[in-house]
């Protein structure tokens, strides 16, 4: 489910609240009562799904198991709040999940959400609230399950150029992620599968308001020339306020042919989360500075990338990012245009919830 939205429950996401997690304004004991009265028939005692229960079998869709720590941790509390309040359909799930807005008041929804977050120990799992918007250049810190397509068109003197990247990223263990990327490039008459990239990312530190990860990626040339390179990066995400999110990454590229030919890239982005509904347009501004290790004049190259995230599905698990890159210092190109299509496959099939 969508990750950029923590409007309603900003203060009280209560990850692991039953296990000594952050203090939470919600009343978990009351949440347990609300749950037993209104939810237990479909979701099972203590949030543990009973798949053999005839009531559950009659639903035609199997609700997720809240006692699974991976599932429980990766779904932001604010998204659950939306599902409980407005029903499954509103967030791209089954309409068998009934809206509770006429049954429960705001506090009761908050309490039952906090209770659901407390039914299993999720320590060690990065919370889904930190599964933030995927920027164009800034590396994402959260180890989500994702398939991403990135298309880039460069408007330059001589031949215009196209680059396409297909990324497959999968959670490994509590806080790791495997990375596989295919890079295809075209310029003039040359069109080739340039590189395959294989990597691993690990979240080092996380809470419901910050995340820090480190990654290493090995870029292997396929048809392109060169010996390949090692890329390493640190990625950071931070909730500045419920509406403002900051992300930044520092990436170092070490070509195997000569590490001194490498470069450092610092990227940062701020995005504005103006609504708890995922199917909206969310604006963001990204700035990138790059510097070759062996630079003749030591100058940084700057570019600015205004962009928007467009949620396509009702729950936002399929989203577009559209952006333009504008050089702020001398470059061989005038503009670059980016289209990113992201499918968060932990939240359902590509065709669900449109």
Phi, psi of 303 (to 5 degrees): -140, 150
**Segment contacting ligand HEC (CB under 6 A): 91-99, 184-192, 231-239, 283-291?**
91-99
Question: What character string, x for contact with ligand HEC (CB under 6 A) and - otherwise, covers 101-140?
Answer: -----------x----------------------------
Q: Is 171 helix (H, G, I), strand (E, B) or coil?
A: strand
**Segment contacting ligand HEC (CB under 6 A): 96-104, 167-175, 229-237, 321-329?**
96-104
User: Could you say which of 65, 77, 80, 239 contacts ligand HEC (CB under 6 A)?
Assistant: 80
CA distance 49 to 132: 28
C-beta of residue 321 within 8 angstroms of C-beta of residue 308: yes
Q: Which is nearer to ligand HEC, 118 or 307 (CB)?
A: 118
Helices 77-86 and 106-118, interaxial angle, to 10°? 130
CB of 311 to ligand HEC, least distance (A): 16
Helix (H), strand (E) at residue 115 = helix 106-118
Q: Which is nearer to ligand HEC, 2 or 209 (CB)?
A: 2
Asked whether position 75 contacts ligand HEC by CB under 6 A, the answer is: yes
Q: Which is nearer to ligand HEC, 59 or 240 (CB)?
A: 59
Q: Which is nearer to ligand HEC, 89 or 333 (CB)?
A: 89
Task: Tell me how far the alpha carbon of residue 353 is from its chain's centroid.
Answer: 18
Asked whether position 323 contacts ligand HEC by CB under 6 A, the answer is: no
CA distance 216 to 232: 4
C-beta of residue 276 within 8 angstroms of C-beta of residue 256: no
Size of the site for ligand HEC (CB under 6 A): 22
CA dihedral over 28, 34, 37, 43, signed as positive or negative: negative
Q: Is 326 helix (H, G, I), strand (E, B) or coil?
A: strand
Asked whether position 88 contacts ligand HEC by CB under 6 A, the answer is: yes
Residue 28: is it exposed, middle or buried by C-beta count within 10 angstroms (0-12/13-18/19+)?
A: buried
- Taking CB under 6 A as the criterion, which residues in 8-67 touch ligand HEC? 38-39, 41-43, 59, 61, 63-64
Binding footprint of ligand HEC on the chain (CB under 6 A)? 1, 38-39, 41-43, 59, 61, 63-64, 75, 80, 83-84, 88, 93-94, 96-98, 100, 112
């Amino acid at each position: 489910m969508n990750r950029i939205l923590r409007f309603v429950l900003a203060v009280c996401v209560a990850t692991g609240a039953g296990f000594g997690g952050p203090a939470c304004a919600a009343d978990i004991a009351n949440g347990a009562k609300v749950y037993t009265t209104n939810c237990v028939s479909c979701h099972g005692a203590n949030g543990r799904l009973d798949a053999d229960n005839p009531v559950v079998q009659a639903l035609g869709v199997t609700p997720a198991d809240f006692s699974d720590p991976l599932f429980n941790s990766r779904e932001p509390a604010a998204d659950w709040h939306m599902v409980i309040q407005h029903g499954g359909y509103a967030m791209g799930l089954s309409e068998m999940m009934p809206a509770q807005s006429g049954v429960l008041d705001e506090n009761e929804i908050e309490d039952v959400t906090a209770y659901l977050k407390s039914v299993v120990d999720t320590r060690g799992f990065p919370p889904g609230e930190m599964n933030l918007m995927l920027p164009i250049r800034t590396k994402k810190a959260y180890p989500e399950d994702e398939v991403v397509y990135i298309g880039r068109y460069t408007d330059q003197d001589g031949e215009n150029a196209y680059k396409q990247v297909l990324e497959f990223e999968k959670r490994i263990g509590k806080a790791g992620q495997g990375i596989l990327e295919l890079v295809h490039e075209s310029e003039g008459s040359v069109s080739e599968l340039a590189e395959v990239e294989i990597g691993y990312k690990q979240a080092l530190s996380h809470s419901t308001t910050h995340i820090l990860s480190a990654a290493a990626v090995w870029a292997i040339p396929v048809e392109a020339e060169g010996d390949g390179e090692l890329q390493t990066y640190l990625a950071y995400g931070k909730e500045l306020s419920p509406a403002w999110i900051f992300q930044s990454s520092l990436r170092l590229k070490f070509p195997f042919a000569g590490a001194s030919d490498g470069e450092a890239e610092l990227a940062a982005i701020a995005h504005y989360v103006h609504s708890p509904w995922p199917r909206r347009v969310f604006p963001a501004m990204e700035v990138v500075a790059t510097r070759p290790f062996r630079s003749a004049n030591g100058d940084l190259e700057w570019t600015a990338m205004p962009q928007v995230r467009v949620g396509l599905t009702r729950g936002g698990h399929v989203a577009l990012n559209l952006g333009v890159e504008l050089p702020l210092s001398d470059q061989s190109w005038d503009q670059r245009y980016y289209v990113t299509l992201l499918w968060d496959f932990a939240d359902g099939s590509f065709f669900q919830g449109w």
